Structure 1
Amino acid sequence: MDVIKGAPFSPALTGALLYTLTKAPDQFRGPALQHLGKYLSSKNIGRTVTALKWLFALGLARNVHLWLSDIAQNNFRLWSERHRYDWSNEVAVVTGASAGFGALIAKGLADKGIKVMCLDLADEAPDDMKGNSKLVYYKCDVADRQAVLDVAEQIKRDHGEPSVLVNNAGIIYDHHTLDVTEKTLHRLFDVNIISHYWTLQAFLPDMIKNRKGHVVASASMASFAGSPGLIPYCNTKAAVLSLHEGLQQEVRVSYKCPEIKFSIVHPTFAATNMTASWRKELADSKVTVLDPNVVAEAIVKQIISGKGKQIILGAEIGFLAGMRGWPHWLAQTFVHLGDRKADLAQMGAERTGG
């Protein structure tokens, strides 16, 4: 389906059609025009050629735009850093790895031959992770700085220095701003954003020393727009985006290490435990709910590519990423139109696992 949707803006397709109808040798162009003439008048054939010219130009401009965006996100390095990695000897750390996105990411990386250190609050690994020699489980509260530093030392001592860090752990609460408690607010920020600082302090210095590493952050479409009832959660995801953008620059400028890659993923609603209690509301609103495997596979693929990227999953609301650049009247009009659907967040409980 995606291939069909993208066909009109594929320069390979529109360029081939345009060449066939205008520049190809007579033995090819003649029969093509003759066949097309059975369905279209000569005037409409001319319009078709004009349309193909525009589609070819727009498709070419789009591809150049995507290429420039790709190299910009990789510090304008034209090549991938994939050659630096020997995946069978690499170590990755995934937080919030006992369920949800985290578990799927950990298993996906293990399938690529990477040894994965799985961090979470559960006393032991889930049954479906046991017995896999590539998955090593550590009980760790990533919101506790000392606990993170301690487990990092144990990981380095027993398995080596990690070259991949996936900050996936996350929780969500449905509290309006005036009702949120001090305890809830601190826990939300501690897990969703402060923990990133602790894991970065534990593992990023070795990546800088080795001039090799990939840091991945699990964010959300909430990074770009707040939603009534979820404002504190949205604040944490906006902070994750800000950290990601600033850290990439800091590592390049302050530590002179453009080889380290940074990726951040912004999925829309996904079928994990975090959305289980409001699945009906999502279905009623006709919002697309992603398969968690789609999110995990995108992250694993990005890591293996050796390139950094901002990944937006959920095409129908992907425009939110650029909404802050809209004129205020247009952005606020859209927000007001979405008021009826904005109160989906009736959760009522803390959930872990990304």
Structure 2
Amino acid sequence: MATTLVKAALSPLLTAPALLALTVAPARIREPILRYLREHVSNLTIKRAITALQWLTALGLASRASAFMSELAQNNFRFQSERHRYNWPKEVAIITGAASGFGALMSKSLAEKGVNIVAIDIKDELPADMRGNSKITYYRCDITDQSAVKELAAQVKEAHGAASILINNAGVYFRDDILTVPSDKLHKTFNVNIISHYYMLQAFLPDMIKAKKGHVVSLASMASFVGVPFFGTYTNTKAAVLNLHESLQRETRVLHNTPEIKFTIVHPTFADTPMVHTHQGELDKLGVVPIPATMVTDAIVKQILSGRGRQIIVAPGLEWISVLRALPHWFQTSLYMLEERSDGKVMKENHEEMKATQV
């Protein structure tokens, strides 16, 4: 509700007409409105309301202009979309972690648009509702094994041709504290959540560079922006995904001169996926309600079809977290300590319960 009100207050489509009606509209329009307002509030209140509308309109316009320039910058200041270069029934999209969650939803959605999907996962087979889809081909592969990824890339290219879309979606999450996280979980989290991105990029991005055409989508998290107690291993990898995304964008410009290639990074909050389901009890105690998984995947598919790259934040009411690191340390730490004071006990209890079940 609060987010909706803020968006409405900063929408020039709402504030500008109201401001114009009260200030420069023809007298036959302006005077009846002012006369009605004077029957209920003082002239001083009306004057203050006009001043508020002026500020809100200016802030709204500035926000829209900033958003436009940011989107332009994320596309190397190229006004034209690359959408015209894509013939979706002939495009090949590589999607990791495709057997469930975001991966399954994106595979089915892009397949509906005609895209040829190379679905990759470690599971033995795809879910039943995906196995019968002629646009989806399944490859079982351990993406943390570089030699397996190289072999996969050769097979895919021979069978389907060069890929023009790569979605690094696969991810794992183990809840543990930094001092006691087991070595196997530590390595698996980093290998799946970030190292595999390197292997997939090394295997599939060269063809995009050669064609000067492609779109790389990286699944990060709101955890890219802030460290969280007992989530440290996971949040470390998601911060790395964000940094990799930024470094990769710059390298493709500097080293390969391919500004045509698009890069999208996605930061969802807790979403209704199998990975989150395993921790639903903990989230319930903290009052966290996961968003629909389709809210995330619909945004990704829409972005791919637009032919433009972008940073996508899918966290209603929590978008402000993305700018937290730009604020002074005293402000950041104050917020953290307030959260720890309100939720720290529950987080610690959840952690102790989890550790007890592992004994």
TM-score above 0.5: yes
For residues 80 and 16 of structure 2, the distance between their equivalents in structure 1, rounded to whole angstroms, comes to: 27
Question: What is the Cα-based RMSD across aligned positions, in Å?
Answer: 1.8
Shift of 1:213: 0.5
Query: Residues 149-160 of structure 1 correspond to what in structure 2 (within 5 A)?
Result: 149-160=150-161
Equivalent in the alignment of 2:121: 120
Shift of 1:187: 1.6
For residues 69 and 7 of structure 1, the distance between their equivalents in structure 2, rounded to whole angstroms, comes to: 21
- Residue segments in structure 2 that go unaligned for 5+ positions in a row: none
Corresponding letter in the other structure for 2:229: P
For residues 269 and 257 of structure 1, the distance between their equivalents in structure 2, rounded to whole angstroms, comes to: 34
* Residues 98 and 119, structure 1, Cα contact 8 Å, conserved in 2: yes
SS in 2 for 1:174: coil
For residues 272 and 14 of structure 1, the distance between their equivalents in structure 2, rounded to whole angstroms, comes to: 38
Equivalent in the alignment of 2:94: 93
Distance 1:100 1:232, change over 3 A: same
For residues 250 and 230 of structure 1, the distance between their equivalents in structure 2, rounded to whole angstroms, comes to: 30
The question of 1:317 aligning with 2:318 is answered: yes
Query: Residues 203-214 of structure 1 correspond to what in structure 2 (within 5 A)?
Result: 203-214=204-215
SS in 2 for 1:80: coil
Equivalent in the alignment of 1:184: 185
Higher RCO structure, 1 or 2 (CA under 8 Å, sep 6+):
1
Equivalent in the alignment of 1:222: 223
Equivalent in the alignment of 2:258: 257
For residues 186 and 158 of structure 1, the distance between their equivalents in structure 2, rounded to whole angstroms, comes to: 32
Equivalent in the alignment of 2:20: 19
Shift of 1:90: 1.0
Distance 1:270 1:182, change over 3 A: same
Corresponding letter in the other structure for 1:167: N
- TM-score after normalising by structure 1: 0.93
Equivalent in the alignment of 1:131: 132
For residues 342 and 328 of structure 1, the distance between their equivalents in structure 2, rounded to whole angstroms, comes to: 23
Which range moved further: 143-152 or 29-38? Answer: 29-38
* Residues 271 and 292, structure 1, Cα contact 8 Å, conserved in 2: yes
SS in 2 for 1:184: helix
For residues 177 and 261 of structure 1, the distance between their equivalents in structure 2, rounded to whole angstroms, comes to: 35
Shift of 1:214: 0.5
Query: Residues 1-354 of structure 1 correspond to what in structure 2 (within 5 A)?
Result: 5-339=6-340, 340=344, 342-343=347-348
For residues 273 and 165 of structure 1, the distance between their equivalents in structure 2, rounded to whole angstroms, comes to: 22
Corresponding letter in the other structure for 1:331: Q
Encode CA deviations 1:11-53: one digit per residue, 9 max, x unaligned: 1221111112211222222232233333333332222222111
For residues 295 and 284 of structure 2, the distance between their equivalents in structure 1, rounded to whole angstroms, comes to: 19
Corresponding letter in the other structure for 2:91: E
Corresponding letter in the other structure for 1:297: D
SS in 2 for 1:194: helix
For residues 206 and 315 of structure 1, the distance between their equivalents in structure 2, rounded to whole angstroms, comes to: 36
Shift of 1:342: 4.7
Distance 1:3 1:188, change over 3 A: closer
SS in 2 for 1:129: helix
For residues 8 and 109 of structure 1, the distance between their equivalents in structure 2, rounded to whole angstroms, comes to: 35
For residues 110 and 3 of structure 1, the distance between their equivalents in structure 2, rounded to whole angstroms, comes to: 33
